[in-house]
Structure 1
Amino acid sequence: MRHARDEVTAAIEAATGVLAISGRSEPPEYENPDVSWGELASEGVWAPTRDGQRIHIGVAGTSEDRAATIVRPSLRVFAGLETDTDVMGQTTAAGVRFVTVLNGPDAPEEFRFPVRLGDGLSLDTTPSGGYDVVHERYGATVGRFYAPWGCDSLYRTIPAEYRLEGTTIVMTVRHRDADALYPVIADPHYVR
């Protein structure tokens, strides 16, 4: 058990160290009762939309499904979800973040977040590279996946972008060609 706890501590310290350097305003952690997390990474999270529905966002790894280590009700860590990769699930006042921590050059460059949408909802690309969750009947945006960003431990920008495969958002973080100083952090972020 000590090994798992060490992995969680290392993931939190890596993410905190990089995010502290950024100097940008990060969304604060918040114990949001409208957000429900599953126990396993594949079970992901149910998050609210502005029209009162909920969407499901999974966290897919290529290795075995990982149970979350719950640090606080608003923070959980999926340690070792991929090779050299940890994912921190964070609840915010308006949604959820998936702080993806790439610990070395062997970490993959693609990460999958399967999305299940409520009735009459669809994903539309935004000009910034994110996705709006749109109510098809009214054309109203009821949720948003902000465009991903990536940075290394010196807060140098690492190219990151999304593409859609069906209803799975695939985040690509091009850390191997960026001469990155690890850890590299990437941040899928959903808000209602």
Structure 2
Amino acid sequence: MRHAQDGAAAAMNAVSRVLVARGKHEPQELENPDVSWGQRTRDGVWAPTRDGQRIHIGIDCSGGDQLPTVLRPSLRVFVGVEVDTDIVAQTTSTGVRLLTVLHGPDAPTEFRFPLSLADGLGLEAMPSGSYDVVHLRYGATVGRFYNPWACDSMFRPVKADYVLDGTAMVMRVQHPGSFYPVVADPLYSR
């Protein structure tokens, strides 16, 4: 248990430093009754769409059976999801953030988030690198996976993007040569 607490503290420290440096325009952690977290890492989260439906975002990782360290109902840390990798998960007023913390050069460069969309919803790639969740009948955007950003401990940008692999959103983070920890931010919002 001590390892999980130390890992959670290290991940939270890295995320806090980066979010403070990025400024006040970042989505704030907030309790949201429309967001439901699973018990284990791989269970992921159910998040709302603008049309009242929900999507499921899983976390596909080698540490998928682990329990999170729950700091508050709106904040949990998944320690050791992969080699040298933790996820700080925040509930926001309109969705969720899965702040991925890479602690060293052995951390993976790809992170899989399997998606389950409600009937009648699909994903559409945007020119910005984001993906919209679209109501297929009406063409309306009901949610968005914002283009991920990443930076290292010197606050230098690190290249991050998404690719779709079947029903999984894959975040790629090109972190070799970075100063660790590196923080990457997948953000979903309705």
**Superposition TM-score, scaled by structure 1 size:** 0.96
CA distance, structure 1, for counterparts of residue 64 and residue 166 of structure 2: 23
CA distance, structure 1, for counterparts of residue 15 and residue 3 of structure 2: 19
Query: RMSD over aligned Cα, in angstroms?
Result: 1.0
The residue number in structure 2 matching 1:168 is 168
The residue number in structure 2 matching 1:101 is 101
CA distance, structure 1, for counterparts of residue 171 and residue 138 of structure 2: 28
For 1:70-149, what aligned pairs fall within 5 Å after superposition? 70-149=70-149
CA distance, structure 1, for counterparts of residue 134 and residue 21 of structure 2: 34
Q: Secondary structure at the match of 2:137?
A: coil
The residue number in structure 2 matching 1:159 is 159
Which consecutive unaligned segments of at least 5 residues does structure 1 have? none
| Superposed displacement of residue 64, structure 1 | 4.8
Report the residue type matching 1:173 in the other structure: V
Q: Secondary structure at the match of 1:187?
A: strand
For 1:54-73, what aligned pairs fall within 5 Å after superposition? 54-73=54-73
Residues 109, 11 of structure 1: CA spacing in aligned structure 2 closer, same or farther, 3 A cutoff? Answer: same
CA distance, structure 2, for counterparts of residue 159 and residue 24 of structure 1: 22
Residues 108, 57 of structure 1: CA spacing in aligned structure 2 closer, same or farther, 3 A cutoff? Answer: same
Moved more, 111-120 or 23-32: 23-32
What percent of counterpart residues are identical? 61
Write out per-residue CA displacement over residues 36-56 of structure 1, whole angstroms, 9 at most, x where no aligned residue.
000111110000001110000
Which consecutive unaligned segments of at least 5 residues does structure 2 have? none
Q: Secondary structure at the match of 1:4?
A: helix
Residues 63, 4 of structure 1: CA spacing in aligned structure 2 closer, same or farther, 3 A cutoff? Answer: closer
Verify the 8 A CA contact 2:41 2:63 in the aligned structure 1: no
Moved more, 158-167 or 64-73: 64-73
| Count of residue pairs brought into register by the alignment | 190
Q: Secondary structure at the match of 2:162?
A: strand
| Superposed displacement of residue 95, structure 1 | 0.4
CA distance, structure 1, for counterparts of residue 64 and residue 54 of structure 2: 27
Q: Secondary structure at the match of 2:11?
A: helix
**Superposition TM-score, scaled by structure 2 size:** 0.97
Verify the 8 A CA contact 1:48 1:95 in the aligned structure 2: yes
Moved more, 64-73 or 121-130: 64-73
Residues 63, 35 of structure 1: CA spacing in aligned structure 2 closer, same or farther, 3 A cutoff? Answer: closer
